[in-house]
Amino acid sequence: MIYELSYLILLLPLLSFLVLGLAGMKMQHKTAGLIGTCSLSLVTLLSYWTAFAYFTADRVNGIYQTIVPYNFTWLPLGNLHFDMGILLDPISVMMLVVISTVSLMVHIYSFGYMHGEKGFQRYYAFLSLFTMSMLGLVLATNIFQMYMFWELVGVSSYLLIGFYYPLKPAIAASKKAFIVTRFADMFFLVGILTFGYFTDSFSFSFAGDIVMGQGTTPFIEGNIAKAVAAGGFIIPTALVLMFIGGAGKSAMFPLHIWLPDAMEGPTPVSALIHAATMVVAGVFQIARMFPLWIEYAPQAMSIVVWVGVITAFYAAAVACAQSDIKRVLAFSTISQIAFMMVALGVSLPGHHGAVLDNHAQLGYMAGMFHLFTHAMFKACLFLGAGCIIHAVHSNEMALMGGLRKYMPITHITFLISCLAIAGIPFFSGFSSKDEIITACMEYSPVVGWIMTGIAAMTAFYMFRLYYGIFWGTENKEAHAHHTPHEAPLTMTLPLIVLCVITVGVGVYTTIAGFAGWGGSFGSFVSAAGTDYTIHFNTQIAATSTVIAILSICLATYIYKGESQPIADRLYKTFPKLHRAAYKRFYQDEIWQYVTHRIIFRCVSTPIAWFDRHVVDGTFNFLAWGANEGGESLRSWQSGDVRKYAVWFLTGTVALTLILLCI
């Protein structure tokens, strides 16, 4: 069997986490880093090998098989059982490639970025833990295993955001991220339990049963029919609850508030966790449950669509006004993930029999495709931002400007990634975004045009960022005592690799898409597992390209110059709007108000009062009683043997008298 080594994909990062976590502090920085990086390189090789083997394997009836190399029952509970195992199907294999690639890049990059930091070994240990959890999440054979790794991912994210734990903002951000995602995960758990209760299974085998039916071998039977019989609303409810969990992890509005703050973590971590991998877990979850959505909850899909649209617009709007470069990237991430959500949501059913029609295929494929391309160029952007922060020692755009002279490699790679995210042809973002917009257009022209507008905003704010960093006025004052310099090779190499992927994928898929060749992304990952040929809709492609170029021009016009008269005038004309966008439309304040004023004051305070006075009071009273009793009894323990004799005698006599009387 070719997949028998696949367990190593999970085991190696776990081992390196244990080694680094337990013995890391005894090691040199370099040794620890090398251990982590080497084990990850092996994982990456294994992932590539698995992907190669999987995608080159023969299809049965034109459909990729779902393969389960390992699956064992971990916890049997009557009808239900929690399993642990490894499941390979197109999306999980695709995710394997994405995660291991980005993670490896981040590992290499961190050599330079984290050089000399205190806790270097701990950092690598956490990276390994995160990688293991994320890989486990995508390889899960059932929702419960997925949930477990989902939480592990949350923990490692918490640990990494709070890596600089002496700093207050880092602690606050890590707590915020943990609590918000945990709050959402509660819904996920309820959804899982609802689903498991009614279907007697946590397994993903329904994927084989329903849509991708033919030829796959279901390994455990989920009793979907029973759940449907119990009521048509049950599965949609469970799915929507799970979606709330996914929305928390993927920072969908209004649960997005943790992601911008999570930028307090080290920048490579932001690249790995908060741009490329963990935040797309929600998207992955929807994709994983996609057969159920499309079969049993098609109406509920519109929730996904509109949440996605609102988030995409909101995040893009906020990103236009942020001054912290990592925040801009964070909001752009939120917006792009929302694109993926929308893409999945617009895959309406309309399938015939067991095979999905073209339309449903398109949205699903586009979402996954965007996930792939976004992971690459967004990781590149974040790593580039890391180089800049490394050089300037600040996140504020005001302190940058004119950096292109100092950092040529970072400049070029950043530009390429910006072009990719803006959706310029021959860059990877174009192909995937264009497919998303096409799918939206087919779903409803309104959504299509909104998404096109948001894509234009994306291009605008990305180039605003680009010009703000690399062009414009050089901040001589800040650079006076510290000239910015290009980052070391360990940091630029990952940028170059990611850029090469972006450009390579972009060029091939663009040409293939226009020419209608096979072998593009759709050939590997599609909703039905079939070979799906991407064929661009020339009209839409042209429109979105023109719009993207126009907004880039607009951004160039406004922000390229040494001084920015138009931006200043706009700012003066709409100060309130700018302020609102800068403050992220007061989302944090609203949450603050809701939690502090309403929940804390009206719910928690009475409960706390009850706890403090009634519950604690009871036990304090008991303790007081015992104490007083002891105090009053202690004088009996006089140590005077004669007193003991008297008491003994008194007791005996009393007993005797009692017995006599009876």
Partner 1 sequence: MVPVECYFVLSALLFFIGVFGFVTRRNLIAMLISIELVLNAVDINFAAFNRLLFPGEFEGFFMTLFSIGVSAAESAVAIAIIINVYRNFKSDSVESITNMKG
Partner 2 sequence: MANLVVFCILAVVILGSALLCVMTKRIMRAATFMLFVLFGVAGLYFLLDYTYLGAAQIAVYAGGVTMIYVFAIQLVSKRTLQGLVERVKCSRMLWGGLVSLVSLVTVVMVFLKNNFILWGGMMPDTEVPMKEIGHALVGSDKYQYVLPFEFISVFLLACIIGGLVVSRKKED
Q: C-beta of 651: minimal distance to partner 1 in Å?
A: 14
Partner whose footprint covers residue 635, from partner 2, partner 1, none (CB < 5 to 8 Å by kind): partner 1
By CB under 8 A, tell whether 654 contacts partner 1: no
Q: How many CA atoms lie within 13 A of 611 on its CB side?
A: 6
Residue 650 binds to partner 2 (criterion: CB under 8 A): yes
Task: Choose from partner 1, partner 2, none: what does 639 bind? Cβ within 5-8 Å by kind.
Answer: partner 1
Q: Is 614 or 658 the residue whose CB approaches partner 2 more closely?
A: 658
| Residue-by-residue DSSP string for 445-497 | HHHHHHHHHHHHHHHHHHHHHHHHHHSS---HHHHHSS---PPPHHHHHHHHH
In the complex with partner 2, the residue whose CB is nearer, 167 or 646, is: 646
Q: What type of residue sits at position 254? A: P
Q: Which helix (H) or strand (E) holds 346?
A: none
Report the residue from 480, 660, 661, 662 that binds partner 2 according to the rule CB under 8 A: 660
Closest approach of Cβ 620 to partner 2, in Å?
A: 39
DSSP result, 581-622: HHTGGGHHHHHHIIIIIIIIIIIIHHHHHIIIIIIHHHHHHH
Per rule CB under 8 A, is residue 637 in the interface with partner 1?
yes
Q: How far is CA 283 from the centre of its chain?
A: 9
CA distance 345 to 305: 5
| Shortest distance (Å) from residue 646 CB to partner 2 | 6
As beta bridge partners, residue 86 has 70
Distance from the Cα of residue 657 to its chain's centroid: 80
Q: How far is the CB of 660 from partner 2 (least distance, A)?
A: 7
d(CA 647, CA 460): 94
Considering only 15-23, 124-132, 400-408, 654-662, which stretch makes contact with partner 2 by CB under 8 A? 654-662
- CA atoms within 13 Å, Cβ hemisphere of 650: 6
- CB 652 to partner 2: min, Å: 8
Q: CA of 275: how far to CAs of 114, 263, 376, 380, 621, in Å? A: 19, 10, 9, 10, 54
Choose the binding region for partner 2 from 35-43, 249-257, 504-512, 647-655 (rule: CB under 8 A).
647-655
Element holding 75 (H helix, E strand): strand 67-77
Asked whether the beta carbons of 378 and 275 are under 8 A apart, the reply is: yes
Measure the CA–CA gap between 138 and 188, rounded to whole angstroms.
16
Residue 653 touches which member of partner 2, partner 1, none, C-beta under 5-8 Å by kind? partner 2
Least Cβ distance, residue 655 to partner 1 (angstroms): 16
- Which is closer to partner 1, CB of 595 or CB of 650? 650
Which of 166, 639, 658, 659 forms a contact with partner 1 (CB under 8 A)? 639
Q: Report the amino acid identity of residue 657.
A: L
Count of positions on this chain that bind partner 2 (CB under 8 A) = 8
The 587-626 contact track toward partner 2, x by CB under 8 A, reads ----------------------------------------
| 653 is a site residue for partner 1 (CB under 8 A) | no
Nearer residue to partner 2 within complex by CB, 615 or 655: 655
38, 60, 649, 655: residue in contact with partner 1 (rule CB under 8 A): 649
Q: Residue 566 interacts with partner 2 (CB under 8 A)? A: no
How many CB atoms are located within 10 Å of the residue 136 CB? Answer: 22
8-state DSSP, 26? G
Q: Give the integer Cα–Cα distance in Å for 113 and 109.
A: 6
Q: How far is the CB of 619 from partner 1 (least distance, A)?
A: 24
Which partner in partner 2, partner 1, none is near 641 (CB below 5 to 8 A by kind)?
Answer: partner 1
At which residue do the structure tokens 């390196």 appear?
16
Residue 645 in contact with partner 1, rule: CB under 8 A = yes
CB of 636 to partner 2, least distance (A): 15
Determine contact, residues 339/312, Cβ cutoff 8 Å.
Answer: yes
Asked if 652 interacts with partner 2 (CB under 8 A), we say: yes
Instruction: Between 168 and 643, name the residue whose CB sits nearer to partner 2.
Output: 643
Name the residue nearer to partner 1 (CB basis): 56 or 632. Answer: 632
Cα 662 to Cα 657: distance, rounded to the nearest angstrom: 9
Alpha-carbon gap, residue 333 to 278, rounded angstroms: 12
Which of 26, 352, 572, 642: binder of partner 1 (CB under 8 A)? Answer: 642
- Stretch near partner 2 under the rule CB under 8 A, chosen from 187-195, 281-289, 358-366, 651-659: 651-659
Question: Is the distance from CB of 124 to CB of 20 less than 8 angstroms?
Answer: yes
Residue 53 CA: distances (Å) to CA of 48, 522, 556 = 8, 17, 46
Q: Which is nearer to partner 1, 58 or 640 (CB)?
A: 640
Taking a C-beta distance cutoff of 8 angstroms, is the pair 461, 320 a contact?
yes
Q: Near partner 2 by CB under 8 A, which window of 160-168, 286-294, 456-464, 643-651?
A: 643-651
Phi, psi of 594 (to 5 degrees): -60, -50
Q: Considering only residues 183, 656, 661, 662, which one is a binding residue for partner 2 as defined by CB under 8 A?
A: 656
Contacts of partner 1 in 596-635 (CB under 8 A): 633-635
Q: How far apart are CA 554 and CA 293, in angstroms?
A: 40
Q: Which CB, 619 or 636, lies closer to partner 1?
A: 636
At its nearest, how many Å lie between partner 2 and the CB of residue 631? 24
Binding site for partner 2 (CB under 8 A): 646, 649-650, 652-653, 656-657, 660
Binding site for partner 1 (CB under 8 A): 633-642, 645-646, 649
